[in-house]
Structure 1
């Protein structure tokens, strides 16, 4: 040992002795002096390599700093930055310090928030009566220049559970405390520029956001008012012992994920070796599909032939798949109804789920890839984050359960697993407009939009998240793109669990075909390449890898009668799937997708329900025309027809009584298309005279001039598609147009009013893709209020109109009228699934 090292150790020992002497002789202090707090902050910063100031420090308990803190230590909360100017995280540590604030040691450091994009702070402490009681803290979380959420941390921790020892180990590793730290999250529907937090009592917190304010009840998990914010308590789930042990060992810094992955790889390889030997020695075959066995013959459905008969939808179910290995196993490649009989369905609709399987591995002919085809004309796709994963870059983690949105649970019919954990790539996820992880360019992506459409494809470099995106999930590169398997030539699918061909295990995926169907794929012993091949054989043109390995990948059919009373039914797609009934409905560790029936009728208006008694575009089980009668004053009511914009085409024809001299026969008469059923016609009246014209354009020719007035607007038809546009200038590509009075524009009144109660006819559009025809004797105020309640974005009043409507089957429906009229053609329902790349190009150009 050198003389310099001996001198260094001696000086270190003398320093420790001196600090201990100060601790023994210094008096207790109720609070640290400003210079002592600054000195402590500098010492904490040096020990943690974080940027910490004196204002960032907060003791967990308010008792005075005393000698026992030098010996036994105490808990310190603080906000720290990885570098000056970076966002803050909230940390907890155990420190030993002298009464004058000299730091003797720091241990059990834990980052409690881990939000790289979120600035968490400042901390607002609870005022407690006892100095020895741990106090809660409230913290706002700011990102992108605004407060996105707030949270409350409770050092009293979690309640005891049956897995108490495992929970205490997890708590100690994650928070530095055996009891852990409970967390309550407040999500703001709209971000705020600034907020003020204050504890009213132990269980009540006020949040003031300027024009908006809430009171949080942490015990009842409610807010007052209830609108605009959602309060939840972060769930802690007791994992099965084996999974808990694996995750815990993987999280240890001196172990990490690589050794665990090595063990998993060799365990899967050993299982695969054994299964191959058993098959060679004894000819083992897999059991038949368990779900199909449980259904009666009528419930299971008949096998659909590959030829499309005239009595069925040619695109549903998908065509038969030729067996890839030659001779087919019974049922291989042939689609059968997969829906259990107790799952809710749309009246008159075909089954929403079909299933089949294919065998792709000639070395393992006993292995199968299951395929579930989903008719997205009938189904909506939702996404939800798990209680543990993804780990968001800003804000709280997910609820881990299907949302309790009013009216949703009676429509829920299924759910399936999501994608990889954050630590295995941090692939993007957004839920209901909130970005947990930003999307990565080039990653395989599935997106849901506010209008209910679904897009699959590879994300590009578009900055930010388009406002129309409701939810998003990514994972790896695509397994399949434009029909090409593994287009990126990726060789690693699943962290370090072996190569694309060398690791057969449980894998799952999601893909879409050009007909607009989604498919869920699952294999118990398969590789990523074979999963992609199964997708291609099913007709998919784009596919993405979802989660893998047992316990993670599963598909449930669901029926929920009363979620609060736990009255529900569930069934896994296959008996080999490892799962439990609470998954998806009550708690789920990782993100997932859920499926619900699409609503067939709009929401009631003023307590009045819509009906679907009019002629319908195909298919009739998905109404595209709905009706409503809204009571007004006694003896009066308004009639409303709602047309799904993507299910109809409108065509304008001039009336014989229009004061125009250049009209030809085809301008007056409508000839229906042979492949589009005529649903009806609505008369829109005639202009009073050429002296007081109301613009009319038919066949690309302006028959009556469009006159600029204060509230001028016009109906514009482009190949039957409807738009309502402000002003009197008609675009050159518009071949059919009719002028009216613009009474609503961009979701607000234009200021037009009329106190008189007169017969009125209004055509309106809504933000959710509906066309509204409103008629009846109304005053201007009554009309404005009704259009507001109907959700009209644009509305055009036709002062010329008679208001008569005629429908197929009525004796009065003709191909020409004395008054100008719009004829309504039905359009078959198209699937809402599309390719993402084309939609993103449109967003970039918008």
Structure 2
């Protein structure tokens, strides 16, 4: 008889059993699986996971709604606006601040665009029905002028009289490769209409669409952007149109004011203008940056609290502004490398007695003029500055932000 084989040893710890040929899972991985199953069996863990699932679904829905909202805003602009609307403004500002520090505006150099409007605006050959207001050439802050720099050029006429003029110039003596544009609008020949945005000021019985739709384009000569979001605390003001108000019309706020006769002015609310029956629209934003023809020292102080947290006010970024002259013209200025000070200086040098900053950063600003030669009922939009981010037909489609449309009288 042979000697019997010893019995197989059996481990008292199943976790230490060697893997069978049919079970390729390593022991350590099996341990992790058991831990996970144990955690998932806990009521607290299941509740936390359920909350995360609900939050994730809400987040996808919320951001998806922002991306699908009407308007032609870019994906980046929509996400940034969504973040600001959900109390993440400091995060957006921090990211923009870091981007600015990594890519500040270039110092020196020469402009890469022509110092003349794009689109070859047609000069009127009709005998003027009204004597045009003579405009002096703007003095370049950058020193000796380049060809055409600061020279006014006709962008649109009404009955043969130049009504809309534009000039290009370098905004300061450091950022000499950048070009700002200034537009002059003669209110004797033009009328102004405030339009709401789909998202800002938002839905309401405004009586005016968030676009310039077909059928309302005859006589259209220009459009330009509005100000900060009305809901932003730093905007320091409200929005009023045809009896409906968003925010609060605030005394002391810089205000673009529209009246029944189609005219517009820039005012210190409560001092220069109030809500009379003659007022049809008010767009408030921050404080005046030109007052009594002078630039106040406040443009250099409290740059974040005074001029918005969307890239600090002292930085040279895309900015826009509007002002009124002593002879009643409305002036619009904008450009890619402007501080609050240099924007104010441009508006003051163009003759503004009062002026205000509008929106900032490339996603929000634009000025278009319109050429009616091919079809007066549907004039062709042209960017005043060819390097502005927004498309020329921006306001032919529903837009998220408020804007002003300018028509021939």
When the two structures are superposed, what TM-score results if normalisation uses the length of structure 2?
Answer: 0.74
Are the equivalent residues in 1 in contact too, given 2:211–2:398 (CA < 8 A)? yes
Asked if 1:578 is matched to 2:386, the reply is no
Asked if 1:295 is matched to 2:115, the reply is no
1:456 matched residue in structure 2: 266
Pick the aligned partner of 1:417 from 213, 225, 236.
225
C-alpha displacement at 1:554, in angstroms?
0.4
Are the equivalent residues in 2 in contact too, given 1:410–1:559 (CA < 8 A)? no
Greater strand content: 1
2:36 matched residue in structure 1: none
What is the number of residues matched between the two proteins? 352
Asked if 1:522 is matched to 2:334, the reply is yes
C-alpha displacement at 1:488, in angstroms?
4.1
Give 3-state SS (helix, strand or coil) of 2:245's partner: strand
Q: Structure 1, residues 648-669: CA drift from partner, whole Å, max 9, x if none? A: xxxxxxxxxxxxxxxxxxxxxx
What runs of 5+ residues in structure 1 fail to find an aligned partner? 1-15, 17-95, 97-104, 110-167, 183-234, 303-310, 340-344, 599-846
Whole-Å separation in 2 of the counterparts to 1:290 and 1:359: 12
Asked if 1:444 is matched to 2:257, the reply is no
Whole-Å separation in 2 of the counterparts to 1:477 and 1:592: 19
Residues 487 and 446 (structure 1 numbering): CA distance in 2 closer, same or farther, change over 3 Å?
A: farther
Superposed, 1:132-531 pairs within 5 Å as 172-173=61-62, 236-237=70-71, 239-253=73-87, 256-272=88-104, 275-276=106-107, 279=108, 283-289=109-115, 291-292=117-118, 294-295=119-120, 299=122, 313=131, 316-339=133-156, 345-347=157-159, 349-391=160-202, 399-402=209-212, 408-425=216-233, 427-460=237-270, 465-486=275-296, 488-489=298-299, 490-492=301-303, 494-501=307-314, 503-531=315-343
Give 3-state SS (helix, strand or coil) of 1:588's partner: coil
Whole-Å separation in 1 of the counterparts to 2:208 and 2:90: 27
2:10 matched residue in structure 1: none
Whole-Å separation in 2 of the counterparts to 1:376 and 1:397: 23
Residues 334 and 559 (structure 1 numbering): CA distance in 2 closer, same or farther, change over 3 Å?
A: closer
Q: Structure 1, residues 568-617: CA drift from partner, whole Å, max 9, x if none? A: 5211111111122542122111010001111xxxxxxxxxxxxxxxxxxx
Are the equivalent residues in 2 in contact too, given 1:391–1:422 (CA < 8 A)? no
Whole-Å separation in 2 of the counterparts to 1:584 and 1:397: 17
Residues 537 and 471 (structure 1 numbering): CA distance in 2 closer, same or farther, change over 3 Å?
A: same
Whole-Å separation in 2 of the counterparts to 1:263 and 1:528: 21
Whole-Å separation in 2 of the counterparts to 1:354 and 1:462: 27
Whole-Å separation in 1 of the counterparts to 2:58 and 2:82: 9
C-alpha displacement at 1:363, in angstroms?
2.1
Are the equivalent residues in 1 in contact too, given 2:181–2:384 (CA < 8 A)? no
Q: Structure 1, residues 357-396: CA drift from partner, whole Å, max 9, x if none? A: 333422222233211111111110111110011247x768
Query: Higher RCO, 1 or 2 (CA under 8 Å, sep at least 6)?
Result: 2
Residues 288 and 458 (structure 1 numbering): CA distance in 2 closer, same or farther, change over 3 Å?
A: same
Higher-Rg member (1/2): 1
Whole-Å separation in 2 of the counterparts to 1:364 and 1:581: 25
Superposed, 1:542-581 pairs within 5 Å as 542-558=354-370, 561=375, 568-581=379-392
Residues 449 and 403 (structure 1 numbering): CA distance in 2 closer, same or farther, change over 3 Å?
A: farther
When the two structures are superposed, what TM-score results if normalisation uses the length of structure 1?
Answer: 0.38
Are the equivalent residues in 2 in contact too, given 1:446–1:455 (CA < 8 A)? yes
Residues 238 and 532 (structure 1 numbering): CA distance in 2 closer, same or farther, change over 3 Å?
A: closer
Are the equivalent residues in 2 in contact too, given 1:290–1:574 (CA < 8 A)? no
Are the equivalent residues in 2 in contact too, given 1:337–1:351 (CA < 8 A)? yes
